[in-house]
């Protein structure tokens, strides 16, 4: 192979490699965005509080969290399930919606219990929801998860709009209505340390303990039974004066399945920081977890809870880790291809070089086969064989080969010499046979 043809082959290989890299880059994971839009809940609510804790932690990693309020869990679901919306993540309360296979949503993690509180007024002790039949009850606002859960719980106790007065009020309005006596009971949801819960727990309103909590959990598996312990509000005042059994939904951090995997891992790290401590109802490390079945669990979450964050994200800033991971996604497969080509190229070149010798080995073998098949050759045949062997020898002497293949050239010349010797022997035998006695 001439130098020009060799360089042409190398150029073709490089062009093919560049084309493959370009194609892979076109289909590769898009670059990680530095902004996430989250749908939370009402201002001052539990979900808004979570998001405000996430924001500075994400900011340290170069990610801006764009916090958008909503009416609650149901509206969050409606926003996320819309493929054309800008919302990428949000909080959804367990038991508030009925997911579909076509939602294209996935659970990042369950992050916290959401206790459901029923406060009431009156002399009677209420520990069963059926005791509220005929009363004036606030059940939450449209679009909130609380509205769905409270209606379900009341429905199981056969407390309906037909036999009771069910009104849809925000938490502040419900609290004031309880205080002024225009309501008999109200459902609330939130952590014990939330401002509204603190206001309620330190008021003269009574807190219902769910005597039938186990039955409700059996009928409504999205809820959990928890205990608000005696004295948790105030040890000095012994408030409450006994353990209170509550029902709790679970706050789930949910994302569109188009969320970049690198962002999912970052969100899990942030959720672990915010929710991983000791809580009123859980021990250290109980949250975040994957104890939820409403949405499919993201592949990243499954890997995270099995083996922790990706290797690079453990030791490098997020932006650098994601940059390297994105490049490796492209480079590693094609480095392997390049190595393979570099290993194969010498063998390809060697095969092309040796092909020049193979041609003459075939001619030589064909001539030798003809000699062995001819038992009594004529003088003309022998002369023809001599011409052919000399022609093969002449061409073999003109083959241009790299220096390291000289031994192969001389091996061909040795083979030519063997066949030439055979022709000489046959010619001598034939001449001796033709001498008259």
Domain ranges of the chain: 1-30+343-432, 35-309
The secondary structure element, H or E, covering residue 75 is helix 73-81
For 93-147, the DSSP string reads: ETTS----TTS-EEEEEEEEEEEEEEEE-SSS---SGGGGTTSEEE---TT-HHH
Do 187 and 146 meet the contact criterion of CB atoms below 8 Å apart?
A: yes
- Nearest-angstrom CA–CA distance, 326 and 46: 35
Q: Where are the beta strands (DSSP E) in 192-344?
A: 206-207, 224-228, 244-256
Give the pLDDT means over successive 10-residue stretches in the chain (437 positions): 57 65 52 84 87 94 92 92 94 89 92 96 95 97 90 96 96 96 96 91 96 96 94 94 96 93 89 88 90 89 81 56 55 66 70 76 86 84 87 80 77 86 83 59
Whole-angstrom Cα Rg for the chain: 42
Paired with 89 in beta bridges are: 38, 255
**CA nearest neighbour of 271 among 249, 296, 288, 289:** 288
pLDDT of residue 160: 96
pLDDT of residue 355: 76
Q: How many CB atoms lie within 10 A of CB 251?
A: 28
d(CA 419, CA 398): 19
Q: Which two tokens stand for residue 144?
A: 């909130």
Task: Indicate the burial class of 404 (C-beta count within 10 angstroms; 0-12, 13-18, 19 or more).
Answer: exposed
Q: Are strands 224-228 and 89-93 parallel, antiparallel or unpaired?
A: unpaired
Yes or no: domain 35-309 corresponds to CATH 3.40.50.280: no
Query: In a 3-state reduction of DSSP, which class is residue 230?
Result: coil
Q: What b/e readout covers 121-145, taking b as 16+ CB neighbours within 10 angstroms?
A: beeeebeebebbeebbbbbbbebbb
Axis crossing angle, helix 379-398 with helix 318-373, rounded to the nearest 10: 160
Residue of 200, 218, 192 whose CA lies nearest to 112: 192
pLDDT at 175: 97
Please report the sign of the dihedral spanned by the C-alpha atoms of residue 234, residue 235, residue 238, residue 242. positive
The SS3 of residue 224 is strand
pLDDT for the residue numbered 315: 53
- Integer Cα distance of 200 and 53 in angstroms: 24
Q: What is the DSSP letter of 310?
A: -
């Amino acid at each position: 192979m001439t130098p020009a043809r060799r360089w042409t082959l190398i150029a073709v290989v490089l062009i093919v490699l560049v084309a493959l890299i370009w194609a892979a880059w076109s289909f590769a994971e898009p670059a990680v965005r530095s902004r996430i839009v989250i749908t939370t809940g009402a201002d001052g609510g539990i979900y808004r509080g979570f998001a405000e804790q996430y924001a500075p932690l994400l900011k340290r990693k170069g990610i801006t969290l764009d916090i958008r309020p909503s009416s609650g869990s149901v509206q969050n679901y409606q926003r996320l399930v819309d493929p054309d919306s800008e919302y990428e993540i949000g909080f959804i309360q367990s038991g508030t919606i009925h997911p579909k296979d076509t939602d294209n949503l996935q659970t990042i993690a369950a992050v916290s219990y959401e206790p459901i509180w029923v406060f009431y007024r009156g002399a009677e002790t209420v520990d069963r929801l059926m005791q509220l039949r005929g009363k004036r009850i606030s059940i939450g606002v449209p679009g909130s998860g609380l509205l769905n859960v409270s209606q379900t719980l009341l429905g199981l106790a056969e407390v309906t709009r037909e036999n009771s007065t069910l009104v849809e009020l925000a938490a502040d309005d419900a609290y004031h209505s309880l205080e002024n006596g225009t309501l008999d009971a109200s459902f609330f949801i939130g952590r014990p340390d939330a401002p509204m819960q603190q206001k309620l727990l330190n008021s003269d309103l009574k807190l219902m303990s769910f005597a039938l909590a186990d039955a409700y959990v059996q009928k409504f598996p999205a809820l959990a039974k928890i205990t608000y312990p005696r004295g948790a509000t105030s040890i000095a005042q012994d408030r409450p004066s006994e353990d209170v059994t509550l029902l709790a939904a679970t706050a789930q951090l949910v994302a569109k399945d188009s969320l970049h995997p690198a962002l999912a891992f970052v969100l899990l790290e942030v959720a672990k920081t915010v929710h991983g401590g000791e809580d009123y109802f859980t021990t250290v490390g109980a949250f975040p977890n994957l104890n939820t079945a409403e949405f499919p669990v993201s592949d990243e979450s499954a890997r995270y809870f099995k083996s922790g964050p990706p290797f690079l994200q453990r030791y490098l800033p997020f932006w650098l880790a994601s940059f390297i991971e994105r490049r490796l996604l492209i480079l590693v497969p094609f480095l392997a291809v390049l190595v393979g080509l570099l290993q194969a190229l010498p063998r390809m070149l060697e095969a092309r070089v040796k092909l020049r010798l193979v041609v003459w080995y075939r001619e030589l073998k064909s001539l030798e086969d003809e000699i062995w098949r001819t038992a009594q050759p004529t003088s003309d045949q022998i002369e023809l064989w001599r011409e052919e062997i000399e022609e093969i020898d002449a061409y073999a002497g003109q083959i241009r080969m790299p220096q390291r293949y000289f031994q192969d050239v001389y091996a061909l010349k040795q083979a030519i010499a063997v066949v030439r010797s055979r022709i000489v022997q046959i010619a001598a035998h034939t001449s001796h046979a033709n001498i008259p006695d």
